[in-house]
Amino acid sequence: MLDNPFGRARRFMYSEARLLERLLFAVTFEGAAPVCVGRVVAAYQNPDGGLGSALEPDVRCPESQPLFAEIGLSAMHDARWRDRELSLSICSFLEEVNDTTGLVPILLPSALRSPHAAHWTSTGEPGINPTASICGLLRYQGVEHPWLSLATDTCCEFVLRNPPREAHSLLCAARLVEHLPDQKIAANLTDRIGTALPDARFFVSSLPVITYGLTPLHFAPFPGSPLRPLFTQEQIEGHLEDLLGRQQEDGGWPIDWDPPGSASRSEWRGRVTFEALSVLVAYGWIDPCEAGRHRN
């Protein structure tokens, strides 16, 4: 095992992570072709146009779910891969499950008929989470669709009028901000997110991080993130140090909730390990080239 954080994490990814995250790792850090990630995401597509087959590891159902659409589009975004046909199919699926304002629920009732993590006790009402995030990711894909236009307008109006007081919903709004073409609206949304975030449920600003939640690094995962100005340099550096310190002996990062099974745990640890590496490399706290020099 290579005696550096990146080398240990690399070994963990290739030993424990599922195919999707292994390929994301290869694309991000080893020059693999982004199309390979697109092909894997497309393999999760159901005949209704949505994405299924437990794409979110805590929900093991085969049926399409809005949450799975967010996970798949996020993977394509991370790989910098665009697929117009798949994205439009996802829009058509979401158009069938939205309310009259364009908002979609996180899960549909079908999700809870399969094994799932204990924290998924209900499907939830249509809302900003995950609609705003999906809209932002589809904006990155560069597609146009009647549902996408309606949902984007609804999410913007909702956040500007009454920003959510829950960190996951605010993160969804932040992902929309990142890809909104109207920079004035994006700036106004950023202000509203910044006002609501400090007191939001599941936002963890204190150190060390010993409980489940979202930290400043979720909102500013790289130095040029639109929401990076919301946090001080001291906050960012403190959370980077804490994140690096949470790497486990096996090279991966832990999860702090109970998944429905061992496969789900490995899949989620692969995802959070990829995310941790991406943040730490982006801020210069881990050097992937160091591991490469050891391998050569």
Cis ω for the linkage preceding 130 (within 30 of 0): yes
- For residue 59, CA distances in Å to 47, 94, 263 come to 19, 18, 12
CA–CA–CA angle 28, 29, 32 (5° rounding): 70
Delineate the domains of the chain, giving CATH numbers in brackets. Answer: 5-295 (1.50.10)
Helix (H, G, I), strand (E, B) or coil at 45: strand
Lowest mean pLDDT among 1-10, 125-134, 166-175, 266-275: 1-10
Return mean pLDDT, the chain: 95
Give the pLDDT band (50/70/90) at residue 292.
low
Residues 95-127: tens digit of each pLDDT? 999 999 999 999 999 999 999 999 999 888 999
For 40-51, write each residue's pLDDT tens digit.
Answer: 999 999 999 999
Say how many CA atoms lie within 13 Å of 145 toward its Cβ.
25
Beta bridge partners of 45: 51
The confidence score (pLDDT) of residue 3 equals 75
How many whole angstroms from its chain centre is CA 166?
Answer: 16
The encoded tokens of residue 62 equal: 């085969």
Mean pLDDT value across residues 68-92: 98
Q: 2 pLDDT band (50/70/90 cuts)?
A: low
Confidence of residue 1 (pLDDT cuts 50, 70, 90): very low
Longest distance between any two alpha carbons in the chain, whole Å: 57
Share above pLDDT 70 across residues of the chain, in percent, rounded to a whole number: 97
